[in-house]
Amino acid sequence: MRNRSQAAPQDIERLIADYACAPTPEIREQLVVAHLYIAEIIARKFSGRGVDYDDLYQVAALALFKAVDRFDPTRGIKFVSFVTPTMVGEVKNYFRDRSRTIRMPRKGTALLRQIEQAKEALQQKLHRMPRVDELAEALGVPEDEILEALETGGALNVVSLDYTPQGDDEAAPLDNYLGMEESGYNTFENIDAVRRAMALLDDRQKDIIRMRYFENMSQREVAEELGISQMTVSREERKALEAMRKQI
Domains of the chain: 9-99 (1.20.120.1810), 104-160 (1.20.140.160), 163-248 (1.20.140.160)
Residue from 153, 62, 173 nearest 110 by CA: 153
pLDDT digits (tens, 9 = 90+) for 200-242: 899 899 888 888 776 667 888 888 889 998 888 888 988 888 8
C-alpha triplet 129, 241, 148: angle, nearest 5°: 50
pLDDT digits (tens, 9 = 90+) for 117-170: 888 888 888 887 787 788 889 999 887 777 767 655 544 333 333 344 444 444
Q: Is pTM beyond 0.75 here? A: no
CA–CA distance, 60 with 84 (Å, rounded to integer): 9
Q: Residue 115, SS3?
A: helix
Residues with Cβ within 8 Å of 35's Cβ and at least 6 positions away in sequence, in order, are: 64, 79, 80, 83
CA–CA distance, 115 with 95 (Å, rounded to integer): 21
C-alpha triplet 40, 156, 169: angle, nearest 5°: 70
